[in-house]
């Protein structure tokens, strides 16, 4: 299975990995890096698990975000939210490969999000869970836009540099204005469509192309 996954990525596929309580770091290092040789998958080695998501005594923040990277570029504009307000209570310490890029760190300096190009594809490794087990990011309005930017970029022919939207892809947009009475979607061709607003306090507008 690992060989097939490696072939998929090297041939142009893309992979996003969130780490969590079910991860065996020794297995990951052995089977997703060492045993694959030059066809390795992970952009970093896993060192050890840090923090306590039960007591939540210490919460780390996301810092040093690469706001020039398409996954975070949206947040470089005022009013689009701040992933730096996220708190991470537990995570895996990671050692990035020499050819990998650290896209974000935790408040004490350890890498939080690492990406590396592997052949024709890319692998992004995130040191904590995608749900609320280890962080409160899923409770913030910035997670969905981040994930959508990552997926949209990886689906594009130019990797994470893709600026176009593909048909049928869900999109999340952070709304800057408060108290909007309506939102109108204007497609490149065709009639403008008014989108219904459901006020849930998240500041997100969700729709499908």
167-184 confidence digits (pLDDT tens): 665 666 555 455 667 777
Q: List the domains of the chain with CATH numbers.
A: 2-168 (3.40.50.880)
**Bridge partners of residue 45, in order along the sequence:** 95
- Tens digit of pLDDT for each residue in 118-136? 999 999 999 999 999 999 9
Burial 184-205 (b: 16+ CB within 10 A, else e): eeeeeeeeeeeeeeeeeeebbb
Q: Is the pTM of this model over 0.95?
A: no
The DSSP call for residue 76 is G
- Three-class DSSP category at 28: helix
pLDDT reported for residue 164: 52
Give the pLDDT mean for 98-119. Answer: 95
- Tens digit of pLDDT for each residue in 72-93? 988 988 888 999 999 999 999 9
pLDDT reported for residue 166: 56
Residue 144 has pLDDT above 50, yes or no: yes
Residue 161 has pLDDT above 50, yes or no: no
Q: Which residue has the higher pLDDT, 194 or 92?
A: 92
Query: What token pair was written down for 201?
Result: 């306090």
pLDDT reported for residue 195: 75
Residue 29, φ and ψ in degrees, nearest 5: -65, -40
Average pLDDT, the chain: 85
The DSSP call for residue 52 is -
- Tens digit of pLDDT for each residue in 4-53? 999 999 999 999 999 999 999 999 999 999 999 999 999 999 999 999 99
The DSSP call for residue 196 is P
């Amino acid at each position: 299975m690992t060989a097939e996954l490696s072939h998929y990525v090297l041939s142009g596929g893309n992979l996003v990995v969130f780490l969590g309580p079910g991860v065996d770091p020794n297995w990951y290092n052995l089977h997703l890096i060492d045993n694959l040789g030059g066809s390795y998958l992970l952009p970093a080695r896993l060192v050890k698990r840090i923090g306590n998501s039960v007591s939540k005594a210490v919460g780390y923040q996301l810092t040093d975000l690469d706001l020039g990277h398409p996954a975070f570029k949206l947040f470089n504009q005022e009013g689009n939210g701040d992933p730096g307000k996220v708190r991470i209570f537990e995570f895996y310490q990671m050692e990035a490969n020499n050819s990998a890029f650290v896209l974000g760190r935790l408040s004490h300096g350890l890498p939080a999000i690492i990406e590396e190009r592997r052949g024709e594809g890319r692998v992004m490794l995130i040191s904590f869970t995608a749900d609320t087990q280890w962080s409160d990011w899923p409770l913030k309005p910035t997670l969905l836009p981040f994930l959508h930017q990552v997926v949209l970029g990886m689906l594009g022919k130019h990797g994470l540099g893709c600026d176009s939207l593909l048909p049928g892809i869900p999109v999340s947009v952070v709304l800057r204005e408060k108290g909007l009475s309506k939102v109108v979607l204007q497609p490149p061709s065709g009639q403008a469509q008014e989108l219904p607003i459901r006020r849930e306090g998240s500041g997100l507008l969700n729709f499908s192309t």
